């Protein structure tokens, strides 16, 4: 028989435990690290935002490069941490692009560009870089590329700040303040 005390203990254990075990990345033929939970995309960003929003998630574009030591660290340290991976998987659809790649990406304004040209259009200077997109593609086509994202993680933050950046976007902290101010205020 399940008592109130044992039911409470089971509920608390379920809350405290990660929802799923962290998965490990694989190194793809393109030289980039991949997780099986990254979004399988036709690389049409408007559709990707629509899909993410419909699923209660946000879209993030992750930029990588073959041989990038910080990309490797992000995948082998940050994103295998169960708390980080679970939060990102639950709240974000990740499209992983190669900063010098050739796959065709359809931008919000309908422009079709290879990954390299697309990265240049958005001023991606180094890897890893993560662009966080708004909840809706509405009005993005009329904006210049730099004004289409709501936040950007240029470079690799330490794990606590890395997770905090995803929380900042999920909680729409960018609507009120810059990430460093938000982070300082939260004491994260």
pLDDT of 22 reads 75
The CATH number given to whatever domain includes residue 153 is: 3.40.30.10
Within 10 angstroms of residue 95's Cβ, the number of other Cβ atoms is 21
For residue 39, being part of any structural domain is answered with: yes
Angle at the Cα of 86 from the Cα atoms of 82 and 92, rounded to 5 degrees: 145
For residue 5, being part of any structural domain is answered with: no
Angle at the Cα of 78 from the Cα atoms of 180 and 155, rounded to 5 degrees: 50
How far does the chain reach from its first CA to its final CA, in angstroms?
42
pLDDT of 7 reads 43
pLDDT of 188 reads 53
Using an 8 Å Cβ cutoff, are 161 and 183 in contact?
yes
Question: How many angstroms separate the CA atoms of 147 and 177, rounded?
Answer: 16
For residue 8, being part of any structural domain is answered with: no
Using an 8 Å Cβ cutoff, are 137 and 129 in contact?
no
Q: Which residue segment(s) compose the domain that 115 sits in?
A: 23-186
**Of the candidates 156, 157, 160, 139, the residue with the CA atom closest to the CA atom of residue 148:** 139
Angle at the Cα of 31 from the Cα atoms of 25 and 36, rounded to 5 degrees: 30
For residue 81, being part of any structural domain is answered with: yes
pLDDT of 56 reads 96
Q: How many structural domains compose the chain?
A: 1
pLDDT of 141 reads 94
pLDDT of 186 reads 83
For residue 177, being part of any structural domain is answered with: yes
Query: Which residues of the chain carry a pLDDT beneath 70?
Result: 1-21, 188
Angle at the Cα of 29 from the Cα atoms of 25 and 120, rounded to 5 degrees: 90
Within 10 angstroms of residue 123's Cβ, the number of other Cβ atoms is 11
For residue 179, being part of any structural domain is answered with: yes
Residue recorded with tokens 């079709």: 112
pLDDT of 67 reads 95
Question: How many angstroms separate the CA atoms of 102 and 118, rounded?
Answer: 10
């Amino acid at each position: 028989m399940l008592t109130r005390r044992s039911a409470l203990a089971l509920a608390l254990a379920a809350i405290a435990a990660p929802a799923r075990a962290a998965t490990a990345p694989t190194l793809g033929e393109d030289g980039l690290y991949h997780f099986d939970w990254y979004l399988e995309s036709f690389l049409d960003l408007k559709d990707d935002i629509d899909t993410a929003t419909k699923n209660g998630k946000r879209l993030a574009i992750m930029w990588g490069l073959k041989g990038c030591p910080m990309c490797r660290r992000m995948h082998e340290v940050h994103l295998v941490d169960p708390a980080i991976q679970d939060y990102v998987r639950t709240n974000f659809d990740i499209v992983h692009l190669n900063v010098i790649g050739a796959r065709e990406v359809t931008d919000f304004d309908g422009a079709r560009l290879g990954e390299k040209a697309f990265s240049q259009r958005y001023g991606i200077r180094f890897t890893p870089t993560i662009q966080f997109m708004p909840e809706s593609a509405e009005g993005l086509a009329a904006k210049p590329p730099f004004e289409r994202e709501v936040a950007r993680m240029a470079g690799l933050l330490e794990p606590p700040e890395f997770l905090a950046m995803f929380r900042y976007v999920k909680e729409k902290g960018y609507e009120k303040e810059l990430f460093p101010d938000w982070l300082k205020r939260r004491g994260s």
